[in-house]
């Protein structure tokens, strides 16, 4: 299948902050889909450190720093993910799986999304082995406790995390 014949996909999350694991999924999704929309959830039930605008900026910078900008569009969204997917005329939701423990939640979300919009497919990508233990929550916990997060996040994120930790002291 030529790249022009491939579908557009949406990879959504809070990205608070974006990690190397997220970049791994974006990189791999780009090889499968013609366009990857990275949809940064504006409102969330999760307590976030960074505003939606800050997270969009960090994702854009991280994607650019990793030379992934071509065919990647980063936008904030609010509301139902399936509504956003329809708005950007994509047909696939990409979800990353780090471990078996992620599967139950992600499968549940895929089933709900299928009930809301049966024309939208969910595709799971298993993270690369070297990223399988990385999560935004763990990265924030390491940062709060003065640990080195440089192996887990892009450089731009590392500096923003340090500033955020300093502000909270």
Q: Are 77 and 10 in contact (CB under 8 A)?
A: no
Residue 46 designated active-site? yes
Tell me the pLDDT tens digit for each residue of 80-116: 999 999 999 999 999 999 988 889 999 999 999 999 9
Domain 3-138: give its CATH superfamily: HUPs (3.40.50.620)
**Domain definitions of the chain by residue range:** 3-138
Residue 87 designated active-site? no
Q: Who's near 118: CB < 8 A, 6+ residues apart?
A: none
Residue 111 designated active-site? no
> Whole-model pTM?
0.91
Q: So what's the pLDDT on residue 3? A: 45
Please identify which of the residues 3, 43, 44, 46 carries the catalytic annotation: 46
Tell me the pLDDT tens digit for each residue of 49-69: 999 999 999 999 999 999 998
Q: So what's the pLDDT on residue 99? A: 84
């Amino acid at each position: 299948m030529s790249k022009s014949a491939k579908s557009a996909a949406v990879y959504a999350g809070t990205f608070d902050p974006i990690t190397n694991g997220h970049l791994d999924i974006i990189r791999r999704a780009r090889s499968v889909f013609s366009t990857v929309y990275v949809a940064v959830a504006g409102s969330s039930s999760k307590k976030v450190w960074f505003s939606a605008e800050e997270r969009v900026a960090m994702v854009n910078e991280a994607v650019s720093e990793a030379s992934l900008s071509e065919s990647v569009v980063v936008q904030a969204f609010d509301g139902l993910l399936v509504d956003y997917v329809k708005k950007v005329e994509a047909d696939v939701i990409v979800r990353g799986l780090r471990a078996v423990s992620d599967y139950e939640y992600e499968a549940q979300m895929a089933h709900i999304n299928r009930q809301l919009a049966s024309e939208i497919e969910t595709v799971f990508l298993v993270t690369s082995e070297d990223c399988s233990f990385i999560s935004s929550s763990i990265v924030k916990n390491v940062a709060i406790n003065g640990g080195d997060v440089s192996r887990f996040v892009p450089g731009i994120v590392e500096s923003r995390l340090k500033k955020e930790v300093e502000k909270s002291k």
